[in-house]
Structures are given as C-alpha cells and as structure tokens.
Amino acid sequence: MEIILLILFAYLLGSIPSALWIGKLFYNTDVRQHGSGNLGATNTFRVLGKTAGLVVTAIDILKGTAAVLLALMPFFSSAGIHPLLVGVVAVIGHMFPVFANFKGGKAVATSGGVLLGYNWPIFILVLLTFLVALKITKMVSLSSMIVAVVGFIYCIGYYVWTGDFYLMIVVGLMGIFIFYRHRANITRIKAGTEPKVKWL
C-alpha cells in the first residue's frame, strides 16, 4: 500500500502545473496560448516576465526535491523504493501532468530538483554548468541539453568514486527525457531559428 501511495503522491506532485496556475491566478493568462505554448519556466519567462518565471522555476525544482524527500519519510520507509526512482515519477508527472491534459514541461527544472533533494553538491555543479552554457549560447534549450550530457558525465565520475549506480542511471534517464522533450528545439537550433534570451 505504501508503494502505491508513494508513487501516486510523487506523480501528483510532479503534475502540479505551476506555469498554468500562476498564469491564470495572477496574470489572467493561459501560457499555453502564448509563446511556445509549453508549460515550463522558459515560456513563463517569455510570456509573463521574470518574476513569474522565477517563481515557476522554483516551484518546478521543488516538485522534484519534495518527491525525493517524500520517499525518505518514516511513513514510506517500508516501501523499499529508492528515492531517485520516486523523483523520476515526479519528473514524469511534470512532463505528463494529470491536471493539464497530460501536456507539461520539458523535465529540466524538476530533474534538477531531484538532484537537489538527493545530492545537492551535484545540483550546484549542474546549475553552474547551465548558467555558463546559457551565458555562452543564449539558448535555454541548448543549455538544458548540454547540462543533461555534462550532468551524466559528472555522475559517471561520481559512480566510479562512490559506487552510486542509481544516481548514474537516473541522471542518464532524465537526460534522455530532456533530449526527447526538446526534439522541436533541436530542429530549430539546426535551422538557426531557436529563440535566444535577451537578458544575458
């Protein structure tokens, strides 16, 4: 029973469509009708501005973190599921949210939140890598994919050092999610039409 509840709670956490709810509640705007139409932080920045974008980013990160911490609660101790796997369920909820017709974000922030909840130093490394890549490329999508690759390389090294097999596999899996969700962006990057941020 604990396993079912844990998976359900993690999925529902991930399913919280922060961009949609904040847009509607505070801006009277459905972000799905503007910009890229994506329910993610990047489109929120584009459509609603920096404040909303930062709030959505924070919430999306914390969804992944909360899922990992949920698995560590005493009530779920007998479930026997690795916290990272619970985090993956939250990422799936973020990509395919039940509260938004199963059309969600691109897994980047929530995947980062999973790392934050499980191993915060690696989260910091990934975050710094993202910021450097964004400063250089001016493209959030490309920076996200760069981070997916570099983060996996980090975790291979961490596995060699500590033997944390789950971390390496889960980060690799989340990287696959990120590349899959950025298929259209990859096409635009190749064509030279991918939007660039203007505030860096």
Per-position b or e across 50-62, b if 16+ CB within 10 A of its CB: eebbebbbebbbb
- For 81-137, the pLDDT digits (tens) are 999 999 999 999 999 999 999 999 999 999 999 999 999 999 999 999 999 999 999
Asked if residue 158 is part of any domain, the answer here is: yes
Asked if residue 101 is part of any domain, the answer here is: yes
- For 170-184, the pLDDT digits (tens) are 999 999 999 999 999
3 state DSSP class of 114: helix
Number of domains in the chain: 1
Taking the C-alpha atoms of residue 19 and residue 46, their distance in angstroms, rounded to an integer, is 11
Asked if residue 198 is part of any domain, the answer here is: no
Asked if residue 200 is part of any domain, the answer here is: no
Residue with tokens 């910009």: 35
Contact 11, 54 (CB under 8 A): no
Is residue 78's pLDDT more than 90? Answer: no
pLDDT tier at 77, thresholds 50, 70, 90: confident
* pLDDT value at residue 199: 64
Domain membership of residue 26 as a residue range: 2-191
